[in-house]
């Protein structure tokens, strides 16, 4: 998972026309460490359909504040610079919950993409 180093890099990443899912985390976060073992498999499963980026809330704190991230780990889907859907709460997230969120993000992304194509 590509780690975002600053706010400018984050902005460039979310401007993609492809689906981007930002994972907001921190080194000290126990629930973030809980997802670490299975996230590479989740990332691999969806690699042809979306890109995950990691945002360390301590290193790139301005971004998490601007995005209204209150609890971590949090997942926010973006495309074309717009937020599409988010999975944000203070509870530990299971692999199943994360994959359910990814599925919802893909559904929203494809729905918006299909609508845009019909308008052209």
Q: Is 68 a catalytic residue?
A: no
Rounded Cα–Cα distance for residues 65 and 50 (Å): 24
Of the candidates 9, 14, 28, 26, the residue with the CA atom closest to the CA atom of residue 73: 26
Rounded Cα–Cα distance for residues 30 and 58 (Å): 15
Q: Is 32 a catalytic residue?
A: yes
From 7, 26, 29, 112, active-site residue: 29
From 4, 20, 32, 76, active-site residue: 32
DSSP, collapsed to helix, strand or coil, labels residue 53 as strand
Rounded Cα–Cα distance for residues 3 and 22 (Å): 10
Return the active site residues: 29, 32
């Amino acid at each position: 998972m590509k780690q975002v180093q600053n706010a400018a890099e984050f902005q460039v990443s979310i401007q993609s026309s492809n689906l981007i899912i930002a994972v907001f985390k921190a080194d000290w976060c126990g629930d973030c460490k809980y997802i670490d073992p299975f996230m590479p498999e989740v990332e691999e499963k969806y690699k042809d359909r979306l890109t995950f980026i990691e945002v360390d809330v301590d290193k790139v704190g301005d971004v998490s504040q601007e995005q209204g991230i209150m609890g971590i780990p949090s997942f926010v889907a973006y495309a074309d610079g717009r937020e599409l859907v988010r999975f944000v709460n203070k509870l530990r997230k299971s692999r199943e919950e994360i994959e359910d969120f990814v599925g919802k993000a893909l559904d929203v992304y494809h729905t918006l993409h299909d609508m845009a194509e019909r308008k052209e």
